[in-house]
Amino acid sequence: MVRTLHQGLRAGAVLIALVALLFGIAPAHAAPARAPDVILTGTLTGAAHETYTELPFKLPAGVERVTVEFAYTGREQRSVIDLGLRDPERFRGWSGGNKSSFTLAESDATPSYLAGPLKPGVWKLVLGAPNIRKDSRPAYTAKIWFDRKGAPFAGFGDQPLATGERWWRGDLHIHTGHSDGSCLSRKGAKVPCPTYKTLEAASARGLDFVSVTDHNATSQFGALRELAPYFDDLLIIPGREITTFHGHANLFGPTAFVDFQLGSAHAPRLADILKEVEASGGMIAINHPGLPSGEFCMGCGWTAPDTDYAGIAAIEAINGGQVEGPLSGIGFWEARLNEGLRITAIGGSDNHDATLDPAKAPAIGMPTTVVRAGELSQAAILKAIGQGHVFLDVAGTRDRILEVRASADGTTAQMGDELPAAAGTKVRVEVRVVGVAGGSISLAGDGAKLATLADPKLTAADQTLVFEFAADGARRWLRVDVRSLQGKLVLLGNPIYLRP
């Protein structure tokens, strides 16, 4: 007996946990926290022993991801039901009894299943019964979710890897063998560097999150989905570097293809790409805008005409070892701030060889983008980046901290926030720095002229400095940085924005 129910029963993580507790099966992919689009239920009998049963369901047009969760009873009678999937044209995978849930999309799929186009039509869930006793009647329930374009996507880990507000450290710009990342093979030959080596290096660095951003590629997502359960203490944020003739930009969040062919019929204007990014639910960041373009670096500098910076969430202010000077992205970023925009500064190693000396840029994690968020999840990290709750650790240490809080008339703001301050209002700024004893703090931005630092020196490993100034009633931005004893930039902050 088979029944098909649409929009039935509320699904959630509770069922997944119960399945795991009752049957000892770890789900491969947590189901969405909403009602399933299709529910297939039924009962097998002893007659199904060593046979296959196909459960048809209709996949509508416009679906970008299918997620299946499967459970059955009768294990105490040694009933075993294996699981597979067919689309209208081909077999899409067989996980047997080793997974209680799986997902697949055009760009990635749970191991055992094939990524590829999700063609509308009649699909079939395939049940195999290696063992059902003659008098057994195991009941099964299959819940199926359809995600359409632009639906929120939690990435490769549906649950937070850790909770509690703190600073999380990561690298947002890394390449592997899925584009131009290379390293030496075991025999010493230069080969495309395996994705595993990148995650291994990030983990050894002590990073909390990474985004692998291969050029115009989505093939890395399959490898990352396979590796994510092993690197279960490292948040892997889907990313790719949209590489055009007029600049490069990282897209974080979705795995669906976004056309990069700026100037072609597929993407005539940058606005077309940004529109597709917005529709996909992604976040975009301009990469290494201070680099030159041309034969030295093909399309590396940002020259895209008619850029609407309202669609740009972040700018890579520091790329690898380009910290300050003519090739740095800091000047480009500051010019946008001076135009009245609020865009977050991030950093990325732009690493192309995961086996590089970890003490020298562009090793993975140099620089490190440090994000203040309430949990280690894709949604929380990207939201905090959008809010500007970020500083950059140039050397990629494990412990340096920069915390800036400004207060006025009972309102407090941290980096990235706006602080209302009418003319004449006293603004108090507290700066906490960890790990830069012997250095000093410095101010930047058009708000810096309002403040005077009595003593910017840092004499302790964990020190808080306080200064005050009077707002002038204009819109300003004020940034705090930390420099070494030699004057080199070691921590780059994001601004606090003053508004009347």
Query: pLDDT by residue for the chain (500 residues), tens digit each?
Result: 333 333 333 333 333 333 333 333 445 566 777 899 999 999 999 999 999 999 999 999 999 999 999 999 999 999 999 999 999 999 999 999 999 999 999 999 999 999 999 999 999 999 999 999 999 999 999 999 999 988 888 899 879 999 999 999 999 999 999 999 999 999 999 999 999 999 999 999 999 999 999 999 999 999 999 999 999 999 999 999 999 999 999 999 999 999 999 999 999 999 999 999 999 999 999 999 999 998 888 899 999 999 999 999 999 999 999 999 999 999 999 999 999 999 999 999 999 999 999 999 999 999 999 999 999 999 999 999 999 999 999 999 999 999 999 999 999 999 999 999 999 999 999 999 999 999 999 999 999 999 999 999 999 999 999 999 999 999 999 999 999 999 999 999 999 999 99
pLDDT for res 30: 61
pLDDT value of position 26: 46
Q: 130 — phi, psi (to 5°)?
A: -65, -30
How many CB atoms are closer than 10 A to CB 180?
14
Q: DSSP assignment, residue 113?
A: B
CB 468 within 8 A of CB 450: no
Please give the C-alpha separations between residue 146 and each of 38, 107, 129, 225, in angstroms, as whole numbers.
9, 15, 26, 19
Side-chain half-sphere CA neighbours of 246 within 13 A? 15
Is 121 strand, coil or helix?
strand
**Closest among 97, 36, 96 to 68, alpha carbons compared:** 36
pLDDT of 27: 54
Per-residue pLDDT, 28: 56
Backbone angles phi, psi at 147, to 5 degrees: -110, 130
Q: How far apart are CA 20 and CA 100, in angstroms?
A: 9
Q: What is the spatial distance between Cα 101 and Cα 464, in angstroms, rounded to a whole number?
A: 49
Do the Cβ atoms of 293 and 301 come closer than 8 Å? yes
Q: Is 410 exposed, middle or buried (0-12, 13-18, 19+ CB in 10 A)?
A: exposed
- The whole-number pLDDT of residue 294 equals 87
Distance CA 384, CA 373 (A): 6
Burial 279-304 (b: 16+ CB within 10 A, else e): ebebbbbbbbbbbebeeeeebbbbeb
Task: Please give the pLDDT value at position 466.
Answer: 97
150: three-class secondary structure by DSSP: coil
Measure the N-to-C terminal CA separation of the chain; round to a whole number of Å.
Answer: 68
Predicted local confidence at residue 152, as pLDDT = 84
pLDDT confidence of residue 15: 35
